[in-house]
Structure 1
Amino acid sequence: MSSSWTPDESSETLLAEKGWLQGTVVSAIAYGINVTLYFMCFHLLLRQMTRTNCKKQIPLLVYITVTFILSTLFMTALADFTQLAFIQDRNYPGGPNAFENDMFSIPVDNIGNVCGLITMLLSDGLVVWRCMVIYRGCRVPMWAIMLFPCLMYAASVVMGIMWLLQVTTFSPYFSSTNINYTVPYLSLSLALNIIITIVIVLRLLTYRRRISKVLGSSYGTQYTSIAAMIIESAALYSAFSVAFLTLFLLNNPISETFIEALTQVQIIATLLIVFRVAQGKGWSQDTMSRVMVSRPSVQAIRMGGLGYDLRDGSKSFTDSNNVGTHETCKISDRNLVEAAV
């Protein structure tokens, strides 16, 4: 087939334009997922709202609504900017790729940049909050666990503001005469998410091991399954961000595809966390207690020669070596939980 209609541009330029256009398509697909997740979360939270839990539900409703509005504005700005480059101003010298680099700071693109930044900060904040919830009740002081993530989050906020000031004047892809905050900002956000992903997964793995040891592998799986760990730790965004930064540092034009879809993917990870919380499957402060005392049948749990009988009423344990006397002692739910934790 003849390629006489191919623009007289380098293969790198054409590849960058392909990456940009495909990134817009991927972002639109991810936005469609966000719309579905938003209405699912909103319906579930609203249906479960009562006078007693409204203080917990309303902040989540406000949070997901704000992120949904930001994602809509971001998608609108991206679509409009793409339309300008590929249709309305397609005769711009150098083509759409040059248009993007030279017009990165026009108002319509700045709207997308601002929405993307705020969304990323809100999403990172949610992940930090989930880490705090999951580690609540740990023997290690909370400040010792959360100090480093909170400092990283604060640094990410500062670097994000510097990045936003940068992209209002020139493209982050060409900054040989200026300080480029793109890599430091996104690297901080990525490092924060990776660290929190690791610590959350480690905590949930520890819970799963202890629950399985005391109750068996069939209990608490909705809180400690592989899917739960991936969602709770926002691992989806971390993996996507690693792919983008790797390509960006290698100066690969395909990084355009990832950076344009990055905001929508992060919102997907955020809404999945909220959806688990709305379903009652998200880890909370009293999850361990609920798992440990919700056993439906009367079965013995053997630990160190002792058979523990869990009933709906009082909890007791029996010496398995002294079947004749069956000497019984009462233990509380709290002691049972502490045996696992």
Structure 2
Amino acid sequence: MASELTVFEHSLWIGNYMSGILYGVELVMYFLTMQGLFSKGNHNTPRSRKFFAIFSTVLLLLLTIDIAVNAVWCQLMWINSRDQPGGVPAYIGTQVSVWYQTMGSTTVVMMIFMGDALLLYRLFIIYGSKYWVIAFPILAYLAAFSLAIIELVLAGRPGGNFFGGRTINFGTPYYTITISLNIIVTLLICLRLAKLGKAVSKALGPDSARMYTGVASMLIESAAPYSLVGIMFLIPYAMGSPTAISFGQVWAKLTCLAPQLIVLRVVTGRAWGKDVVTQAQSGVDFRMKPAGRSTGIELQTHTFTHGGTTLGEEAPEKWNSSTKSLA
């Protein structure tokens, strides 16, 4: 039977490998977001564009630090220190609380709270800007933040261990509260979108409303993958299993990817906004907005307006011979 150290090393390697793939996904989404923010015809206000640009950039920087820290730590452990006295076990025992490893853990905590804050705001918007909906989630958010600070302090002290000792006594309730918060918010958003989706589908028809009511929309808006992987991480972490590091690495990257996906949907005009929620709640009749004249062959997108607001408006796609461009 494999030793605990061997399982830990395998889990860490798998987690790092998956992290590299997810980092590439984040880079693609980041540049798509920047392209959408600064392209002509972007519907967001200058203030919103500035916020989303800063938010996305900070997330990417934090994720980059986390990736770099893990890469350096693993290189020193598996390559530089393999022939040192004690080898890998000695390195893990003495360097698990090294300052840059604590810095990497701090960046993950920062991404968690940035992502959770955005998720709470989306919950607020999707429920029609009702403060009572986010009252309990905010309390859980603040409680988790307090536990996270204690966990980081204990893990960063000499001899501290992020995955063992006293740290796990605070880490377990911290991750339990955080992941439970994610699950609750995810369920609330899914239930709300399912209810509002019926009104939108009835008004627009299932095909035109799919942008707001599809499975992908619900998964992204509610950050469901983030919550599911969080559960997969919490169970082995609470049990003290060395496999927790693998799930933890993937979950840490989703703390960046999940909010970035939401930002990308908002930037591209595919997310549920205040206008869409208000119209779906009020049960208004959406009327088709005639498409403007254009040249070339176009694939027209149906748009529906009410009271000066537009639901599902997209630029028509123009085809000129073998090339495709936005009109």
Q: TM-score, normalised by structure 1?
A: 0.78
- Can you list the C-alpha shifts for 1:170-227, whole angstroms capped at 9, x where unaligned? 1032216x77211111111101111100000000000112233444333422112111
Q: Displacement, 1:87?
A: 0.8
1:135 aligns with 2:127: yes
Q: Number of matched residues?
A: 292
> Which residue of the partner structure matches residue 262 of structure 1?
251
1:65 aligns with 2:57: yes
* Distance (whole Å) between structure 2 residues aligned to residue 179 and residue 246 of structure 1: 13
- Can you list the C-alpha shifts for 1:270-308, whole angstroms capped at 9, x where unaligned? 11101100110111100146675544399xxxxxxxxxx
> Which residue of the partner structure matches residue 235 of structure 1?
224
Q: Indicate the larger mover: 100-109 or 162-171.
A: 100-109
1:160 aligns with 2:148: yes
Question: What SS does structure 1 have at the residue aligned with 2:38?
Answer: helix
* Distance (whole Å) between structure 1 residues aligned to residue 253 and residue 286 of structure 2: 38
Q: Displacement, 1:21?
A: 1.2
**Do 1:73 and 1:115's aligned partners in 2 also have CA atoms closer than 8 Å?**
yes
**Do 1:205 and 1:224's aligned partners in 2 also have CA atoms closer than 8 Å?**
yes
1:206 aligns with 2:198: no
Which one of 28, 32, 37 corresponds to residue 36 of structure 1? 28
> Which residue of the partner structure matches residue 245 of structure 1?
234
Which one of 158, 173, 177 corresponds to residue 184 of structure 1? 173
Task: Give the 5 Å matches for 1:23-172.
Answer: 23-48=15-40, 53-91=45-83, 95-97=87-89, 99-136=91-128, 142-169=130-157, 170-172=160-162
**Do 2:203 and 2:286's aligned partners in 1 also have CA atoms closer than 8 Å?**
no
> Which ranges of structure 2 fall in alignment gaps of 5 or more residues?
291-303, 312-327
Q: Displacement, 1:102?
A: 3.4
**Do 1:289 and 1:333's aligned partners in 2 also have CA atoms closer than 8 Å?**
no
> Which ranges of structure 1 fall in alignment gaps of 5 or more residues?
1-8, 299-311, 314-331
- Can you list the C-alpha shifts for 1:233-279, whole angstroms capped at 9, x where unaligned? 11111011111111222333221111122221221111110110011
**Do 1:49 and 1:57's aligned partners in 2 also have CA atoms closer than 8 Å?**
no
> Which residue of the partner structure matches residue 326 of structure 1?
none
Letter in 1 for 2:103: I
1:285 aligns with 2:274: yes
Letter in 2 for 1:160: A
In structure 2, do the counterparts of structure 1 residues 247 and 179 end up closer, same or farther at CA, with 3 Å as the change threshold?
A: closer
Pick the structure with greater CA Rg: 1
* Distance (whole Å) between structure 2 residues aligned to residue 293 and residue 148 of structure 1: 34
Q: Displacement, 1:93?
A: 5.8
Q: Displacement, 1:75?
A: 0.5
Q: Indicate the larger mover: 61-70 or 178-187.
A: 178-187
In structure 2, do the counterparts of structure 1 residues 123 and 297 end up closer, same or farther at CA, with 3 Å as the change threshold?
A: closer
Q: TM-score, normalised by structure 2?
A: 0.81
Q: Displacement, 1:85?
A: 0.8
RMSD: 2.8
**Do 1:44 and 1:279's aligned partners in 2 also have CA atoms closer than 8 Å?**
yes
Question: What SS does structure 1 have at the residue aligned with 2:288?
Answer: coil
In structure 2, do the counterparts of structure 1 residues 243 and 51 end up closer, same or farther at CA, with 3 Å as the change threshold?
A: closer
